[in-house]
Structures are given as structure tokens and as C-alpha cells.
Amino acid sequence: MKKLIEIDDTVLTKLKVLSAFEGLSVKALMEKAIELFVKSKEKEQLDSLTQEQKEDLGLLLLMQQADRTDTVSRENIFKLLE
């Protein structure tokens, strides 16, 4: 997806200098910066969760990984509950 954005000339100059130091294109440098920012915000959100919310999130992730086609018979469930 291609999007055009306006960047202040001062910021653009700084981006060009940083990209030269990093050996990256300005586009690649911006992508890397955005990726780091998003990861930082995700970590910040995760750190702010309570222990119960973290457990709920973990359970949700496990449930998403479960094989929904794998079934157990009713008899096996009742045997386990005895």
C-alpha cells in the first residue's frame, strides 16, 4: 500500500542524515522506526495489564491455537469427571 505523507523539512533532513549513518533508505528507516514504536506500545500495554488480564489473554491465545476439529466423546468426558 502506498501512502503519501507530508514531512517537515527539518525532520526530513534529520531522516536523511540518520539513514546515511544506518545505511538504509529513508523509507526503510521510517519503517524500522514505526515498527519499534509499535512494539514499544504493545509492550507498554502488556505491562499495564493486571495478572488476571494477562491470564485471560494467555487463555485466549491458547484457545485460538486449539484444533477445533479434534473432538472427544461424551463418554470420555464423563469418565474423566469421575
Residue range 20-33, pLDDT digits in tens:
999 999 999 999 99
Those residues whose C-beta lies under 8 Å from the C-beta of residue 46, and which sit 6 or more positions away, are: 54
Kindly report the pTM of this predicted structure.
0.62
> Which parts of the chain register pLDDT below 50?
none
Is 29:22 a contact under the CB 8 Å cutoff? yes
